[in-house]
Amino acid sequence: MNVIQCENCGRKNRVPAAARGTPRCARCHKPLPWIAEADDESFAEVADAGSLPVLVDVWAPWCGPCRMVSPVLDRLAHELAGRVKLVKVNADAAPGVASRFSVQGIPTLLLMRRGQVVARQTGARPEPALRAWLEHELASSATARSPQA
């Protein structure tokens, strides 16, 4: 359980790693950033069952590019609160998750919807490129699942 301070009203809110719906501030009801960690045992509950698109960051503590990308992903999770959930997976501590997704290099970013990978990117990118990739993929995957008129 993480404690997230609402950027709108300042109230501190407890946000579980796994839950139905999307986290919202208890006071002002604005969406809260949803950032969680997962390992081999918790991945299915934390990432696969989410109602929001899930951005999975497969990283390792010894990886310099991973340490550069991590704060960018945190900022994006805050900016896109209510639209995406960020799940961080340490590849060293969760070899099963890394194997499941055939991770060959880190950082590897996976955008998932209902347990299925809809987009993938390996390697560090500058913040504007990561933002553009994520926003494009969120829009594309939302369009792909919307019924056509």
> Which amino acids are annotated catalytic?
63, 66
Spans of all domains in the chain = 33-145
Checking phi first, is residue 19 left (phi over 0); if not, alpha (psi -120 to 50) or beta?
Answer: beta
Specify which residues 90 forms β-bridges with.
59
- The whole-model pTM stands at 0.91
Residue type, 52: L
Alpha carbons 47 and 26: distance in angstroms, whole number: 23
Q: What is the pLDDT of residue 51?
A: 81
pLDDT tens digits, 100-147: 999 999 999 999 998 999 999 999 999 999 999 999 999 987 766 544
Q: Which fold has domain 33-145?
A: Glutaredoxin (3.40.30)
- Three-state DSSP class for residue 91: coil
Give the up-direction half-sphere exposure of residue 38: CA atoms within 13 A in the CB hemisphere.
29
Please check the confidence at residue 72 and state whether its pLDDT lies above 80: yes
